[in-house]
Structures are given as C-alpha cells and as structure tokens.
Amino acid sequence: LFARPCTFVKSVVRTADLPPDGPIEVAFAGRSNVGKSSLLNALVGQNALARTSNTPGRTQALNYFDLSDETLMLVDMPGYGFAKAPKHLVDGWNQLIHDYLRGRQSLRRLCVLIDARHGLKASDISLMEGLDSAAVSYQIVLTKRDKISAPQLEKLIADIAVVLKKHPAAIPQVLATSSRKGLGMAELRAELAMLA
Ligand code: GDP
C-alpha cells in the first residue's frame, strides 16, 4: 500500500461526478478543525496532500486520493459541526454527502475523527446514527492524543466504548493518533491494509 506516493485524483461536488464504483474507498470525516488534513498528510507521509486549516464550511467537496494504483482510494470529506444549518445528516452537509453515504458500494470504512480533548459531540453522534442506518462500517479515530494524558486517554476510550455498544455499524476498536507526534499511524495503516 504505502509504497508509492498518494496522488490527488479529483474533487467531487455533485453526485453525478463521483467516479465509477471500483477501487475500495476509505473515507475520513470529522468536525471542522479536528485535525483531518494533518492526519491524512501524516498517514501517507506527505506534507501537502490535504490542505490544512481550510476555511470551515467553504468547500463541500469529496476529495479523492489514490493511495495505491487505484486499489484503495482515500476520500476526504468536508468538516462538519460548524454551522447552525438545517439538520440533515449532520449540520452543513449537503445532498452529495447524503447520496455518497447511502449508496456508495465501494465505501468500505469511514473513519470518524474525534478530537481527544473534546470527545464525542452531538454532531458526531448524529453522523454515527446516520451511518448506522445506512449500514456504513465506521471506526472512531482519536486525533491530537498528544494533548491529553495517558489516564485521560484511557477514560476517554472507556467512555467511547460504552457509547459504541449502542451503534451497530461501529467497529469496537478505537484508534488513538497524533499527527504531530506520529502516534497511531502504523496502526491506522495496518487497518487500511486489511481492508485493501
Ligand atoms: P482539519 O480542519 O480537520 O483539516 O484540521 P487541521 O489538520 O487543519 O488541524 C487543525 C488544527 O489542529 C491545526 O492548528 C493543527 O496544527 C492542529 N493539529 C492537528 N493535528 C494535531 C495533533 O496531532 N496534535 C496537536 N497538538 N495539534 C494538531
């Protein structure tokens, strides 16, 4: 998998522009500022793959990256939780995202990124409920774990484990990562390798 550089494929803003189903897709979603761009860059070992600190809510695109010669695509989803928009699946998300999450054959796993300092928020739970009903398999990936202590991390993971029992499409394992310190990247890569 991580042998060759990951490349940007396209930015999709309309359902009609989604690439044909084929390569396995792993998508990444989370509240704005959760550290998603930093995580994607650290994951593939490239500094400028996903733009960091993008203006919240500016783009509502799905950004496709080819991880390995069209066998595994990484899909960078727009950040959520920033706007007091009408409630859909989660605040501020549009039709494209709904269509994508409900009907995408190739989507094998969605990584729900959670800031280790903040834990699960209402908008995260809202997304998780949507994923449960769409039967999209998802996994909680904690970000910025360098910001909390080991006992705090342990408690956070235990609290999340309790919540996950109520979410049928959730994978029970929670991954803790830090893009800044490079923590958890090997584990996340191993997860992706198992899906490919
Ligand atoms: P995005 O909006 O979800 O794409 O988030 P970014 O990747 O742009 O990161 C948001 C902020 O969190 C930036 O100030 C990053 O420097 C910071 N950040 C991201 N990852 C980490 C991390 O692992 N540790 C720490 N301490 N800060 C991080």
Task: Say whether the ipTM exceeds 0.90.
Answer: yes
Is the CB of 31 inside a 6 Å radius of any atom of ligand 1?
no
**CA gap 135, 28 in Å, rounded:** 16
Pick the closest to residue 167 from 135, 195, 123 (CA basis).
135
The closest residue, in CA terms, to atom 25 on ligand 1 is 144
pLDDT of residue 86: 45
Contact between 126 and 155 (Cβ < 8 Å): no
Pocket test for ligand 1, best of 46, 47, 52, 118 (most atoms within 8 A of CB): 52
Ligand 1 pocket residue status of 102, Cβ below 6 Å: no
In this predicted model, which residue has the larger pLDDT, 192 or 91?
192
Confidence of residue 13 (pLDDT cuts 50, 70, 90): confident
In this model, does residue 177 exceed pLDDT 80? yes
Residue pLDDT, tens place only, 14-56: 889 999 888 999 999 999 899 999 999 999 887 777 665 454 5
For residues 187 and 43, what is the distance between their CA atoms, to the nearest angstrom? 10
* Helix axes of 36-44 and 185-195: crossing angle, nearest 10 degrees: 80
Q: Does residue 35 line the site of ligand 1, with CB under 6 A? A: yes
Q: What is the pTM of this model?
A: 0.92
Atom of ligand 1 nearest to the CA of 40: 7
Decide: 180 in ligand 1 pocket, CB within 6 A: yes
How do residues 70-112 score in pLDDT, each as one tens digit? 789 999 998 888 655 445 555 556 788 889 999 899 999 999 9
Domains and CATH numbers, the chain: 7-195 (3.40.50.300)
Structure tokens at 53: 């600190």
pLDDT in tens, 118-170: 999 999 999 999 999 999 999 999 999 999 999 999 999 999 999 999 999 99
